[in-house]
Amino acid sequence: MIKDPHKIIIRPVITEKTTMLRGTSGVICFEVARRANKIEIKNAIELLFKTKVAEVRTQMKTGKVRRVGRNMGKTKDWKKAYVRLREGEKPIEYFEAV
């Protein structure tokens, strides 16, 4: 069980797909700690951004195999969370500049 919300929410994921989702359905995407569950993610978002969360969906992403010269490596596995805010809630201010 992870207690600190800053350790649960690692960074926002800003891609073409997540920007489209944010505009059409109000879904925001974050990279989260791999061991965090949906309840911990919901509580961390509500504490950090002072807003109410309606739904959290998570997805595990496996790292890709990469090659640099003759050396093979692998990027890290990570977890993605799609967070939908409740109707009428203020949007997260972090994304206003994006």
- pLDDT for 96 beyond 70: no
The phi and psi torsions of 25 (rounded to 5 degrees) equal -120, 5
> Is 16 part of a structural domain of the chain?
yes
> Is 96 part of a structural domain of the chain?
no
- pLDDT for 1 beyond 80: no
> Is 25 part of a structural domain of the chain?
yes
Q: What is the tally of structural domains in the chain?
A: 1
26-75 per-position pLDDT tens digit: 899 999 999 999 999 999 999 999 999 999 999 999 999 999 999 999 99
Q: What is the CATH number of the domain that holds 46?
A: 3.30.70.330
> Is 23 part of a structural domain of the chain?
yes
pLDDT attached to residue 91: 78
> Is 69 part of a structural domain of the chain?
yes
The order of strands in the sheet holding 53-61 is 9-12, 27-32, 78-85, 53-61
> Three-class SS of residue 20?
helix
> Is 24 part of a structural domain of the chain?
yes
> Is 21 part of a structural domain of the chain?
yes
84-95 average pLDDT score: 80
Whole-model pTM? Answer: 0.86
Q: Which domain holds residue 36?
A: 5-86
Query: What does the DSSP assignment read for 27-65?
Result: EEEEEE-TT--HHHHHHHHHHHH---EEEEEEEEEPPPE
